[in-house]
Amino acid sequence: MTTGEGGMVVCGDPAMKERIDSERNQGRAPNMDWLDHDRLGFNYRLSDIQSAIGIAQLERLDGMLADRARVAGWYTEALAGIEDLALPAPNEGRSWFVYVVQLPRRVDRDMTIGALRERGIASKPYLPAIHLMSFYRERFGHREGEFPVCEDVAARSIALPFFPQMTEAQAAAVAETLAAVLEPA
């Protein structure tokens, strides 16, 4: 769901809620006194229009989640026969945001993404190894090789096109194209 920009946090911890309320409202003190800011904060308040969009989205949420689950099911079925392709683990409670697969170890992810793009299929690398992002390298000195399993999974993961209105034929076309790209020469 979307609110255009911004969002919502649900929290069961009163102390955490107090901190979030303060930080999202420019660091104002817990009593929300206009001129008392007791911490660094941000302007993360939703406008009335954004809130109205969010409420309308909530009314459609069950349908949107069902649509995404249906598309994920089509993908899982269509991709099941591709050798050494790791699919997302089944999970009845999952809220499908993306559909990410792990390519076989013999395959170059970036070349696969390029080959898919040449055939009209947009895909992207998905979730790099966080410790290798520039912030963590520069601030904490992380380097390649520290977390080899994470690095392996990140190097082989791609997000396939995924949206609630996707048709079964579109999911099948992506699967067929990916299978053709991965087919050994």
What predicted TM-score, i.e. pTM, was given to this entire model?
0.78
What's the confidence (pLDDT) of residue 184? 75
Give the burial class of 91: count Cβ atoms within 10 A of its Cβ; 0-12 exposed, 13-18 middle, 19 or more buried. exposed
Where exactly does CATH 3.90.1150.10 map onto the chain?
61-182
Pick the CATH number of 61-182 from 3.40.50.720, 1.10.3720.10, 3.90.1150.10, 3.30.450.20: 3.90.1150.10
pLDDT tens track, the chain, 185 positions: 778 777 778 899 999 998 888 888 888 877 766 667 778 888 887 888 988 998 998 999 999 999 999 999 999 999 999 999 999 988 777 789 899 999 999 999 999 999 999 999 999 999 889 999 999 999 999 999 999 999 999 999 999 999 999 999 999 999 999 999 999 75
| DSSP E strands, 74-177 | 99-102, 124-125, 157-160
